[in-house]
Amino acid sequence: MFNSRVYPILVPLQSALVLCMDVGFSMSNSSPGEESPFDLSKKVIQKFVQRQVFAETKDEVALVLFGTDATKNPLEQDEQYQNIVVHRHLMVPDFDLLEEIEHQIQPEGQQADWLDALVVCMDLLQKETQGKKCDRLNIVLLTDLCTQVSPDKLEVIIENLKQAEITLQFFLPFPVEDAEEGHGDGEQRDPGHPGAGKGLSREQQSGLEMVKHIMLSLDEEDGLNEVYTFRNAIEQLRMFKRIERRPMAWPCQLTVGSSLSIRIVGYKAVTEEKLKKMWITVDAQSNQREDVKKETVYCLDDDNETEVQKEDIIQGFRYGSDIVPFSKVDQEQMKYKHDGKSFAVLGFTKQNLVLRHQFMGSQVVKIFPPKDDEHAGVALSALIRALDELKMVAIVRYAYDRRSNPQVGAAFPCIKQTYECLIYVQLPFMEDLRPFAFPSLENNKKICPSETQLSAVDSFIDSMMLEEKDENGELIDLLKPHHIPNPAFQRHFQCLHHRAVNPGAPLPPLEPWLQAKLDRPEVIKERCQASLEEIKRKFPLTEVEKKKKLKTSAQIFGKDSKEASAEKGKEDEAEEEYNLADIAEGSVTSVGSVDPARDFRTLLKQKSLPFGEACQQLTHRIEQLLSNKNTQYYMKSITCIQAFKEQSVKMANADLYNSYLQSLKRSIPSRGLEVFWDLLVQDGVTLISSEEVSGSLISKNEANEFLKAEEIKQEAAAPQAEDTGDVDDLLDMM
């Protein structure tokens, strides 16, 4: 049987709200060391308007002040409704209102009847909402109730509030509960309670009785729940409001094979929330967008910087040393083309085979039948209930429209008391999975932990568990993610508001309440101290001083280079330290093109290739890099040459390196690599001298002179063809 369902509301109605704030002289009175009621009430309306501005709602807000020196409202006549000002009429709140609250609203020197201010707010709401579709009319009144109020019009006001369906909220500097306990003049309230201090005056007691009468007349059961204290309101309003988005309907056909088709409508249930950053470039002095003019010019990379028109430019992708042109026509032809929106069932599988870590994408879509199609509702309900009974999911092909690429995903059955639906979650393709395999850490005896060390870490993990037992012995969570706002959003909005109202001041620090939310709970801090001390004892840290490398006998007396290399290798192996990066990079079999210097060092460390063959592979990569006349490739080549020299010194074999560098220098003019040679000279990469390797035939002076540029006589002859014979001969020799 077709069940009734709850569908998302597509067109939310706006609400209208009037903030009515007391700015009379009594609001500035406070006990020493406490904030005045005026400061607290100003914070309340600031926080509320901030939330409305950053939530980008269409709700309209007005601001009425009473207790002002001036009078400006539509009802002022015959000395009535005095000292009441309509500061701002109903409109969507913006940064201008925030700036006015910050700088223009100040304590004033008069007192006004808060019932008169309430009547002005009611009149403003009724007149300025005519012709508008508002789902809620609300008045928020912030006062300390210190003024004498005439109750003559009280019943008329209550009746008008009911007829106009206006809801009312009061914000006071003291809680209603304290007043109900019978505090009179001179009596002291609990000093730990917010708003503690002197007892209520006669005016406040009388005003509070009227407040309770109004609220209970409007709502007998929950009327007093709409009376708040300033401090409680600030605590509840300190988090910025979540941006509300209107769900858009996505009509489509759910197909199972070629013969079964069901009309459906999809709504985004969960999606990634992103900040609306409308950054624009403005002049730093005038802050005006019009003062900044942008002009883009395309030029060739030649001596004259020849200008090129935008129409003559296409995209190009680097493939090795070549540039592959790729025009917009090519891009359009490359795009995957399909028939448009789709929600086709490809098959079914068990729910336990679709693992949680395989969920992808940034959204979850709920699938309902159309509201006016009972047959589609019956068919979709049957599919949902069948999937639920069999504990299965549908694997579907999802395409939002013709322009988007299709996805593969899982449609889970969801049955609630008020509705049924399918919940779609994107799944990965084969190429999206990255199965990484890492060697076991237990194979290295040098770092294998002992049983006592493992036990210490286990106890530390247990002490950091974010749960504790309550009074009934049941485990409760210490960290409640649903109660923690996104700190990036909160900080962003805090800084935006501060910069809007204080353009020249530095940004404020992170708000204390948000910092407290991000810190570890105090219970966890205390609980893990003992475990941390145990870990310090079980895993002592000692500073390791590297010993200076002494010259070997081979370097002093000129022993056979192979024997010296073998001894050197044993010494390096003994001093080799454990490195997680070496394990992760796996086995290197040749000098690659991504990081040839690292591959060269790894090959020599693993001793998987003879030194001469590894050098040949490295110089081959250097020649490939130098064929791309680009600074980026030049720097990569220099890194390779530095690695070549470093390893040659370690192996006490300078011949191959010196021969290659000398032949490379001879080929510089004919190959046009002067820029590369200048970079090499700047880095001071020269030949290996006999002081570095005893078998070298190059003296210290010759190595220093090697980098000095040779004066080449320019002859008026035709340029010779590129000659890399010396380099090729050297590669053949190696």
Q: Which has the higher per-residue pLDDT, 207 or 244?
A: 207
| Residue 362, token pair as written in the block | 């940034």
CA distance 452 to 136: 65
Most confident of the following: 417-426, 475-484, 487-496, 704-713: 417-426
pLDDT at residue 255 in the model = 94
When mean pLDDT is compared across 149-163, 366-380, 491-505, 580-594, the lowest value belongs to 580-594
Residue 484: give the domain boundaries. 442-538
Q: Are residues 504 and 557 located together in one domain of the fold?
A: no
Averaged pLDDT for residues 219-235: 81
Q: Give dist(CA 406, CA 186) in Å, integer.
A: 74
| Span 556-578, average pLDDT | 49
pTM for this structure? Answer: 0.56
Would you place residue 2 in the very low, low, confident or very high pLDDT band (cuts 50, 70, 90)?
very low
Q: Quote the pLDDT of residue 278.
A: 64
Same domain, 585 and 458: no
Q: Which of the pair, 153 or 731, is modelled with greater confidence?
A: 153
Over 90: is that where the pLDDT of 265 sits? yes
Cα separation, 127 vs 61, in Å, equals 14
What is the percent of the chain with per-residue pLDDT over 90, rounded to a whole number? 24
Angle between helix 725-733 and 655-666 (nearest 10): 160
72 and 143 housed in the same domain:
yes
Flag whether 433 is in a domain: no
Phi, psi of 281 (to 5 degrees): -90, 125
Mean pLDDT, range 147-155, rounded to an integer: 83
CATH number for position 528: 1.10.1600.10
**How far apart, in whole angstroms, are the C-alpha atoms of residue 489 and residue 497?**
12
The answer on 561 and 458 residing in a single domain is no
Closest C-alpha among 688, 622, 680, 620 to residue 649: 688
Instruction: Write the CATH number for 687.
Output: 1.25.40.240
pLDDT classification of 428: cutoffs 50, 70, 90: very high
- Work out the mean pLDDT of the chain and round it to a whole number: 81
With bands split at pLDDT 50, 70 and 90, how would you rate the model's confidence at 610?
confident
Give helix 230-237 / helix 37-54 axis angle, nearest 10°.
20
C-alpha span between 488 and 93 (Å, rounded):
23
Q: Quick one: 484 and 616 in the same domain?
A: no
CB distance 712 to 725 below 8 Å: no
User: Does residue 296 lie within any of the structural domains?
Assistant: no
Q: What is the pLDDT of residue 6?
A: 37
Q: What is the pLDDT of residue 8?
A: 38
Distances (CA, A) of 656 to 567, 615, 618, 684: 20, 8, 12, 19
- DSSP designation for 298: E
Chain position carrying tokens 């002291």: 188
- φ, ψ (nearest 5 deg) of residue 467: -155, 155
* Residues 142/118, Cβ–Cβ less than 8 Å: no
Closest CA to 121 of 91, 90, 149: 90
Q: How many folded domains does the chain comprise?
A: 3
Q: How confident is the model at residue 563 (pLDDT cuts 50, 70, 90)?
A: low
Q: Is 75 exposed, middle or buried (0-12, 13-18, 19+ CB in 10 A)?
A: middle
Res 508 pLDDT > 50 = yes
Please report whether residue 471 resides in a domain: yes
Residues 51 and 106 in one domain: yes
- For residue 87 the two structure tokens come to 């500061």
Statement to judge: residues 135 and 203 lie in one domain: yes
Q: Contact at 8 Å (CB) between 423 and 264?
A: no
Q: List the alpha helices (DSSP H) in 219-260.
A: 230-237
* Alpha-carbon span 353 to 392, nearest angstrom: 9
Residues 521 and 561 in one domain: no
Whether 523 contacts 478, CB under 8 Å: yes
* 499 and 618 share one domain: no
Establish if 601 belongs to a structural domain. Answer: yes
CB 384 within 8 A of CB 377: no
- Do 477 and 525 lie in one domain? The reply is yes
**pLDDT exceeds 80 at position 88:** yes
The amino acid sitting at 561 is S
Say if residue 184's pLDDT is above 70.
no
Domain boundary among 182, 210, 237: 237
Q: Tell me: pLDDT of 710 over 60.
A: no
CB contact at 8 A, 84 and 73? yes
One domain, residues 591 and 685: yes
Return the CATH number at 155. Answer: 3.40.50.410
Q: How many Å apart are CA 14 and CA 91, to the nearest integer? A: 11
Residues 108, 110: Cα–Cα separation, whole Å: 6
- The mean pLDDT value for 478-483 works out to 79
| Tokens coding 287 | 């802050």
Q: Are 393 and 348 in contact (CB under 8 A)?
A: yes
Pair 533, 597 in one domain = no
Q: Does residue 515 surpass a pLDDT of 80?
A: yes
Q: Which of 9-13, 118-122, 329-333 has the lowest mean pLDDT?
A: 9-13
Identify whether 318 is part of a domain: no
Domain termination site, one of 487, 507, 538: 538
454 within some domain = yes
Average pLDDT estimate for 313-319: 86
- Residue 468, number of CB atoms within 10 A of its CB: 13
Name the domain boundary from 515, 538, 561. Answer: 538
Model confidence band, residue 677 (pLDDT cutoffs 50, 70, 90): confident
Output the pLDDT for position 190: 39
Asked if residue 681 is part of any domain, the answer here is yes
Domain assignment present for 168:
yes
| Mean pLDDT, residues 337-360 | 92
Q: pLDDT class for 262, splitting at 50, 70, 90?
A: very high
Q: CA dist 445 to 449, 450, 538, Å?
A: 9, 10, 17
DSSP annotation of 80 reads: B
Over range 310-319, report the average pLDDT.
Answer: 86
